[in-house]
Amino acid sequence: MTEARIIPLNDRIRSDVAHNARVWNHWLGGKDNYPVDRAVGDRVTGMYPSIGEVARADRAFLGRAVRYLAGDAGIGQFLDIGTGLPTAGNTHEVAQHTAPDSRIVYVDNDPAVLVHARALLTSSPEGATEYIEADARHPERILRAVEPTLDLKKPVAVMLLGTLNFVLDTDEAQHIVRTLMDAVPSGSHLVLTHPTLELGGEGNEAAMRFWNENATPPITARSRAEFAAFLTGLELVEPGIVSCARWRAEPGAVEVAQFGAVARKR
């Protein structure tokens, strides 16, 4: 019988291959990345100059969506899958600023995020934050692990921001969304962002090809119809499916090639 070997965390972090969480951090102006992440990130920016705007627009969307959910929608629990490296305006900071007793579970499968997870665990005394290292492809496992931080009998905001694009098979991505949304009660919400080739984004397609040959994990874009299918059976919150830059944003916000939407489970 072979003995199970525990691989130390630092041995699991590959500093020779660009990783999405760290490159995303670079595009957001963060410092938690390696030379290989900066090199690949800058090559992508050379091909697809608006990628930095996409990353910033996605984070700004997160802020507006979470403020709406913790405020007007009265949601007290957040399951943020594909969290990314900590940055300004993490989900718990935004939610607890509005409702200090908000409870947040973060999930990511990149070991670099685990290293920095302490920064995600600075909950208000009234609320709670938890970090789980897990793969979005195992939603049942995630659902088992979120309790007791989250009470799945009460509404939850399930957040998959820039994450389903790393699940290349659309049926599998659909299964993830359905499994998560089936497990939460009426009044819960789904919050999504996803890259697309349909909203402009000069150079996006070539940059994704370059990414898939040089970095990890591989990525895919989806059409509006595919994005809308993730929200089937849910009630879209105004303004519906738009570029995430335009979701409840100031008039005149410049569109980026990333869909964003919030929808409520009836």
Ligand X SMILES: C[S@@+](CC[C@H](N)C(=O)[O-])C[C@H]1O[C@@H](n2cnc3c(N)ncnc32)[C@H](O)[C@@H]1O
**CB 191 to ligand X: min, Å:** 10
Window of 54-62, 67-75, 122-130, 248-256 that interacts with ligand X by CB under 6 A: 54-62
Radius of gyration of the CA atoms of the chain, in A: 18
Window of 5-13, 147-155, 158-166, 233-241 that interacts with ligand X by CB under 6 A: 158-166
Q: Give the ranges where 184-238 is alpha helix by DSSP (H).
A: 204-214, 224-230
Q: Are strands 103-108 and 77-81 parallel, antiparallel or unpaired?
A: parallel
The helix (H) or strand (E) run that includes residue 180 is helix 170-182
Window of 19-27, 182-190, 239-247, 254-262 that interacts with ligand X by CB under 6 A: 19-27
Window of 38-46, 109-117, 232-240, 256-264 that interacts with ligand X by CB under 6 A: 109-117
Closest CA to 129 of 103, 97, 148: 103
Count of residues engaged in binding ligand X, rule: CB under 6 A: 21
Q: Does 57 bind ligand X (CB under 6 A)?
A: no
244-263 exposure pattern, b = at least 16 Cβ within 10 A, e = fewer: bbbbbbeeebebbbbbbbbb
* Whether the Cβ atoms of residue 69 and residue 95 lie closer than 8 Å to each other: yes
- Residue with smaller CB distance to ligand X, 32 or 110: 110
Q: Does 137 bind ligand X (CB under 6 A)?
A: yes
Q: How far is Cα 224 from Cα 145, in angstroms, rounded to an integer?
A: 32
- Residue with smaller CB distance to ligand X, 77 or 165: 165
Q: Does 222 bind ligand X (CB under 6 A)?
A: no
Among 44, 57, 59, 155, binds ligand X (CB under 6 A): 59
Contact footprint for ligand X (CB under 6 A)? 20-21, 24, 58-59, 62, 82-84, 108-110, 113, 135-137, 161-163, 166, 217
